[in-house]
Chains A and B, each alone.
Chain A
Amino acid sequence: MESRQVAALVEQAYRARRAHNWQTAIDLLKRALAIDPEHAGAHASLALALLGARRLHAAAIEVDLALGFGPHNPFCHYAAAAIRRAQRKLDDAWRHCLVAMQDDDGDADIRVLGAAIKSLQEDNDGARSLLMEALELEPDHQGALAQLARLELDLGNLAEAERRIEEALTEDPSDVDAHVIAGFIVLARGRVDEAEQHARFALQEDASDRDALRLWAAIKARRNLLLGMWWRWNMFVGLRSERSQIGILIGSFVVVRIVIILLGAFGYEDAEILLRKIWMGFCAYTWFAPAIFERMLRRELANVTLREDF
């Protein structure tokens, strides 16, 4: 009875995860694990949901638990590969991917994940071959088509990228990643309006999607250099890792303080006062910048009207 209940919860969580409803998936899996705390699949699924919700630290702990309870479960190794990839532990990620592929040689998802790892390792041939394998197993695999399009785009093969992304969007017209890739492809072809439609759609679905925001900044830069610089600055500060953001802020602080001390030492008091004021203004700006950026984005996305044929 209990195992059936757990299986049902895990299945519901799987559907929630596929729909990117991360928190729903997390809540369902917490319920499942309250019943059976040693369910390896539930731990692995929870790790993937936590990864989706950008809670990487907790995801890493969950996937270790999953591997502990199910060391031979291919899904646990799949989850481990996804988490290690997010942690940029690429060799470890690839090792788990290989184990998952050996234990489950008919799964296209594992190959798509393996291709993503290979891309990060800058092994484009390896990535392409895994994606082709995935498409042999599942010719309509949306993720494989989208990733193949991204790979072709990175290699500058725009026609092939366009063909692949059209196939991907035919399979799932609402996929955010596919829209972002499509946006970059049409932008590379110079079709800025079309790229904007893709970016708007993606941002409407997920306003925090980093790649969609990068596409948006690239579109703004194409239209207006100044506006593009403003958006790129926001991307530069806002989309970095915490460690990198702290580094930038502290680095800026040290540089400004050194200049202030030197200006004071050489008797340029007016310039020193001016720099202090500018720095105070900049500090105040960085405090409010995330809220300003969010409001700007909301305003841009308000009253979105997509073309009828979109």
Chain B
Amino acid sequence: MSSYEIADEPSPEAGWENLVFPPSAPLLSMMWCGAWLAWPWFIVNARAMGSPTLRHEAKLVAAGLFGSLLLAFTIFTLVDAGVIESRVALQFALLAVTTLKLGVAYTVSAVQSRTYAIYQYYGGSSQRAFYVLMVGSYVRALVLGMSAHPIWLAVMS
């Protein structure tokens, strides 16, 4: 007898179990390592636990990525045009990029947490994020150093 599936229940795929982490891990990576690690990690995590809200989470991540890109592009266009002149004004403007990234990351984490709670209830296991975060913090400088363009730094940090 096949089981009835409730809309919010995850359906993890075989072979992906070792890639499930608590949703707080990618959120922490956003603060610790940067968006370059957090955004893909959220998507992989959702895929690994078979999240029924994968598409919603992917859309949020895309909004975070492209939103921060657009915001950073606007800010540095205003810098080039001489509208934003002082260091303090630039700091305030870049705060908007950080706030957008953090806000989206918190939201994705909250959405993913609901699925994760059910995933755990049905006996799903997860990995410890410590080593990934450690590696991420070492690789951070390398990734951010790939380009000296301020937009790259604002979006990926």
Contact = CB atoms under 8 A, between A and B. Distances in A.
Q: Do A and B come from one complex?
A: yes
Contact of B102 (A23, A30, A242, A253): A253
A250 B106 contact: yes
A250 B8 contact: no
Which secondary structure characterizes the binding site on chain B?
Answer: helix
B7 A261 contact: no
B7 A61 contact: yes
Majority DSSP secondary structure for residues of A touching B: helix
Interface residues of A, number: 30
Interface in A16-67: 23, 26, 29-31, 33-35, 37, 46, 50, 55, 57-58, 61-62
A57 B88 contact: no
A306 interface: no
A80 to B, nearest CB: 16
B114 A55 contact: yes
B132 interface: no
Nearest to A35: B1
A2 to B, nearest CB: 11
A264 B8 CA distance: 47
Contact of A33 (B4, B98, B106): B4
Nearest to A64: B7
Contacts of A250: 99, 102-103, 106
Given A257-B95, A265-B88, A46 B121 contact: no
B92 interface: yes
A148 to B, nearest CB: 35
Contact of A57 (B3, B87, B110, B114): B114
Interface in B1-48: 1-4, 6-9, 31
Contact of A30 (B3, B8, B110): B3
Contact of B4 (A30, A245, A283): A30
B1 A34 contact: yes
B8 A58 contact: yes
Interface residues of B, number: 24
Given A57-B114, A246-B106, A254-B95, A261 B4 contact: no
A265 B155 CA distance: 24
B54 to A, nearest CB: 14
A229 interface: no
B107 interface: yes
A304 interface: no
Contacts of B1: 31, 34-35
Contact of B110 (A46, A246, A257): A246
Contacts of B8: 55, 57-58, 61
Contacts of B118: 55
Interface of B: 1-4, 6-9, 31, 87-88, 91-92, 95, 98-99, 102-103, 106-107, 110, 114, 118, 121
22 contacts: A23-B121, A30-B6, A31-B3, A34-B1, A58-B7, A61-B6, A62-B6, A62-B7, A242-B110, A250-B99, A250-B102, A253-B99, A254-B95, A254-B99, A257-B95, A257-B98, A258-B92, A258-B95, A261-B91, A261-B92, A261-B95, A265-B88
User: Which A-B residue pairs are the 3 nearest by beta carbons?
Assistant: A33-B4, A58-B8, A61-B7
Given A23-B121, A34-B4, A265-B88, 15 more contacts: A30-B6, A31-B4, A34-B1, A34-B2, A34-B3, A55-B118, A57-B7, A58-B8, A58-B9, A246-B103, A257-B95, A258-B92, A261-B88, A261-B91, A262-B88
